Chain A
Amino acid sequence: MPATANLKDRACIVGIGETRYVRKPGSGKTVLQLHLEASTKALADAGLAGRQIDGIIPSPYFVTAEELASNLGAAQLRFATTVHMGGASPCAALPVAAAAVTTGMADYVLIPTGWNGYSMARARDIVASDATSLPGAAIARDYYIPYGLTAPPQWYALIARRHMHEYGTTPEQLGAVAVAMRKHAQLNDNAIMCGKPMTLDDYLASPVITAPYRLLDCCVETDGAAAMVVTSAERARDLKQDPVYISGAAAAQPHPADEMFNRKDVYEVGMTIAAPHAFAMAEVTPADIDFAEIYDCFTFEVLQQLEETGFCKRGEGGAFVEGGRIELGGALPVNTHGGLLSEAHTLGLNHIVEAVRQLRHQAGARQVPDARLGLVTGWGDFGDGALAILRR
């Protein structure tokens, strides 16, 4: 398998920005305003002006590159594209942005995302009503929704249930993920669940939404936005923050991507295909990773991604997350900001922001000591996957 070694460490994340993450009473802002708030914060963090942005990769659903550019004064927009990967869209934009700045297609690429995912538009409603919302939406409309399988937790719960049967994965192991993310959120004053600690007993007592998923297996729904700026390693040297190098990055779809239950191996997802390419590009292995910000739409997906990325063997994800291994202080801290489960749902761009903070050694009370190499993942639609290996 060819290693795309020519992209390794050629591009850097040089600016990050986030809004406050809120639920009630809603952000009170439009999706565009949220995007612009996070974007201008990322630009300020990088020490860049809006007119310097010449590449924009927005998520597919919310705002266009054009309206962002018009507001930011990005008058030389040469690279405007969208990666259509559901929640994985921001992470999957990283290799695209890295390729753009390495080849000179753009100098400074802005990757923003955000929505009023609490006050205006719930994911469960979007995917069940809009046949263009994800590649499998028409298949879901015709073959899933008539039977009441309408929302992401229900889709994924089918796979989680099978994994529990085949490998003995337990509710307590799913709960260990929820507990770890909630523990980390207590150190993060922008996390929705800051101030709301949770024990494993609390988790087990929470109501079942779609078995085996309980309420506390499910990500929070929030209003907010986040953004990042990517440039070449050469340009990064002139900017004010320590650059964070994109050492490896890849994205992939499972087969078939648009239908969940007719895969030869139901656990083989986009991550399974993408991970070896990202690790080969970075020339590292999972053992080298100091922390991982893993797209935690639901608890089981963290186990599945740990398995498919190669941190442990298939079926061993449950044991891997037990005993504090994934908590701060453990061997592989996961979602040091609280994740989608306890910080906010910003399509995982918040995971990349946190990884950058960790690698800049600016994570404060959440800092993983001497963090040098981090992993971020994205998950979308029916199991599309993306990952990036970032280094200091």
Chain B
Amino acid sequence: MSYTKPLPVRTGHTKEFYDWCRKHELRFQRCGDCRAWRHVPRELCAECGSWSWEWERASGRGTIFTWTVAERPLYPAFADDVPYAPVVVAMEEGVRLLSAMVDCSPDELAFDMPVEVVFDDVTPEIALPKFRRRRGA
């Protein structure tokens, strides 16, 4: 059964981000000088101007910052999923990630709900980081 939804284009730093995801590791760029984390990948640190950075592993923990519930289809590949809820997760590191919950219906979402990352292996090349309720939180 093939995956029919749109996928990221794996070039440049996006490829590196998703290569870590394929290994089930959520990593963000972290500035080598001022230690600021950033997402989406960039070339330079906008805080301090440094070119130095590494892919550093994040804790995977965050809280729900906001969401919307798509109740009417606006894109054919997602029409059968309606209603579905894209979620913005505020990660412990300070960055925010647009994603989805795997174990919550849209009605169950709440602001500041503690969540943790999981990986959805949608194709052999791509795992999408998603989130579940954080256990023991």
Contacts and interface: CB of A to CB of B under 8 A. Distances in A.
Interface string A203-227: 0000111111100000000000000
A207 B71 contact: yes
Nearest to B98: A144
A99 interface: no
A150 interface: yes
Contacts, number: 100
Contact of A158 (B67, B72, B78, B111): B67
B8 interface: yes
B68 A154 contact: yes
Given A150-B78, A259-B40, A262-B95, A145 B6 contact: yes
Interface string A133-154: 0000011011111111111011
Interface residues on A, range: 35 or more
Contacts of B46: 255-256
B81 to A, nearest CB: 6
Interface centre among A147, A165, A207, A210 (most CB of B within 10 A): A147
Given A145-B6, A158-B88, A262-B95, A151 B71 contact: no
B86 to A, nearest CB: 4
Nearest to A139: B40
Q: Does more than half of chain B's interface fall in helix, strand or loop, or is it mixed?
A: mixed
A207 B65 contact: no
Contacts of A144: 86, 98
Interface in B102-137: 106, 111, 128
Contacts of A261: 65, 88, 96-98
B89 to A, nearest CB: 9
A218 to B, nearest CB: 10
Interface in B87-103: 88, 95-100
B38 interface: yes
Nearest to B126: A146
A162 interface: yes
Contacts of B8: 141-143, 146
Contacts of A145: 6, 75
Contacts of B88: 158, 261
A210 B99 contact: no
B69 interface: yes
B34 interface: no
Contact of B38 (A148, A207, A212, A262): A262
Interface in A178-219: 207-213
A142 B14 contact: yes
Given A147-B98, A149-B86, A165-B111, A208 B72 contact: yes
A124 interface: yes
Interface in B36-79: 38-40, 46, 65-72, 74-75, 78
B98 A157 contact: no
B71 A158 contact: no
Interface in A243-291: 255-256, 259, 261-262
B38 A154 contact: no
Interface in A153-178: 153-154, 157-159, 161-162, 165
Interface in A110-149: 124, 128, 138-139, 141-149
B1 interface: no
A161 B66 contact: yes
Nearest to B84: A148
B40 A158 contact: no
A207 B70 CA distance: 11
B46 to A, nearest CB: 8
Contacts of A149: 68, 86, 98
Contacts of B78: 148, 150
Contact of B128 (A138, A147, A150, A209): A147
B30 to A, nearest CB: 14
A143 B39 CA distance: 10
B40 A162 contact: no
A256 B70 CA distance: 25
B104 to A, nearest CB: 14
Given A147-B100, A148-B84, A124 B5 contact: no
B67 to A, nearest CB: 6
B29 to A, nearest CB: 12
A146 B7 contact: yes
A25 B78 CA distance: 28
27 contacts: A124-B74, A124-B75, A142-B9, A142-B14, A143-B8, A146-B8, A147-B99, A148-B5, A148-B75, A151-B74, A154-B68, A154-B70, A157-B68, A158-B68, A158-B88, A161-B66, A208-B71, A208-B72, A209-B72, A210-B69, A211-B106, A212-B68, A261-B88, A261-B97, A261-B98, A262-B38, A262-B39
Interface of B: 5-9, 14, 38-40, 46, 65-72, 74-75, 78, 81, 84, 86, 88, 95-100, 106, 111, 128
